[in-house]
Amino acid sequence: MELRVFANEHILADSASDMIIAAVAKKPDALLCFATGDSPRLTYQLLAQKAERQHIDFSKCFFIGLDEWLDIEPGNSGTCHYFLHQYLLDPLGVQSSRVHLFDGLTKNEQQECDQMNQLIKNFGGIDFILVGVGMNGHIGFNEPGTAEDSTTHIATLDHTTRTVGQKYFDTPVPINKGITIGLKQIIEARSLVMLASGKRKAPVIRRLLEDDISTAFPGSLIRQHPAGILVIDEAAASELQKELYDPGIEKR
Ligand code: F6R
């Protein structure tokens, strides 16, 4: 894994959006997987601007969503479905035939998991994945203690995820379960970029980099990824021991 620390969130997002563009330049028919949430929002906004200016062709890529809340209407602005359409898929003009998102209202959870597993398998794995990290260290909805060899599954959300997750919703909703691509599929992605910014994430980043590598804190698994890049800003790096990184290197 490589650690890149940027002076602020804007510079971070500028760099992360360039990483997505580079992934598509390298493999125009890539299987791309994207998280939602506060961490990638600005990255997607900058990506959409650059894609228009630079005429980047995403038409051969295939897009999948990392996760979804279960039992919530996709029209609810707090869902991953809504977010990905608003900030990524619609601004990039991605055809619906090139997208697979989880159906959070599915009546057949196993089938929903099987479909995603089969899709990822058919593509020979994920080429590029962009994730955030939760306050409890989760990646997607792979909560602490999730098996390292897990594929797509239904997750019972822990207290932190249920509480913090309310920030995405206009009115309080019960969020108890989620569906998520599994740790194995995430860690096996050929390129893995994880974003974290802001002071709020500083204790998360300290644990992620300084605790033992363990599914007790799933974000720590990125350290085993040969092509993993952890992209953070100085606020998120502020609780790290200084010798872990040189704050001068990646500032632009
Ligand atoms: C969302 C997802 C979650 C978030 C994480 C951080 O699709 O997969 O794991 O990445 O909870 O959320 P933010 O970025 O809002 O701090």
Q: Is the CB of 35 under 6 A from ligand 1?
A: yes
Q: Is the CB of 158 under 6 A from ligand 1?
A: no
pLDDT for 57 = 96
pLDDT in tens, 164-174: 999 999 999 99
pLDDT for 126 = 98
Give the Cα separation of 94 and 88 in Å (integer). Answer: 8
| pLDDT higher than threshold 70 for residue 200 | yes
| pLDDT higher than threshold 50 for residue 153 | yes
Q: pLDDT-based confidence at 241, cuts 50/70/90?
A: confident
In terms of phi and psi (left: phi > 0; alpha: psi -120 to 50; beta: otherwise), the region of 139 is: beta
- Active-site residue, 136 included: yes
pLDDT for 252 = 42
Percent above pLDDT 70 for the chain: 96
pLDDT in tens, 203-234: 999 999 999 999 999 999 999 999 999 999 99
Q: Is the CB of 38 under 6 A from ligand 1?
A: yes
Q: pLDDT-based confidence at 245, cuts 50/70/90?
A: low
Query: How distant is the alpha carbon of residue 165 from its chain centre?
Result: 15
What is the rounded radius of gyration, in angstroms, for the C-alpha atoms of the chain? Answer: 17
Whether the CB-CB separation of 214 and 31 falls below 8 Å is answered with: no
DSSP code, position 251 = -
Tokens of 28: 């125009």
In terms of phi and psi (left: phi > 0; alpha: psi -120 to 50; beta: otherwise), the region of 2 is: beta
Residue whose Cα lies nearest atom 2 of ligand 1: it is 140
| pLDDT higher than threshold 70 for residue 152 | yes
pLDDT for 62 = 98
Residue with tokens 């980047």: 56
Q: Give the chain's mean pLDDT.
A: 95
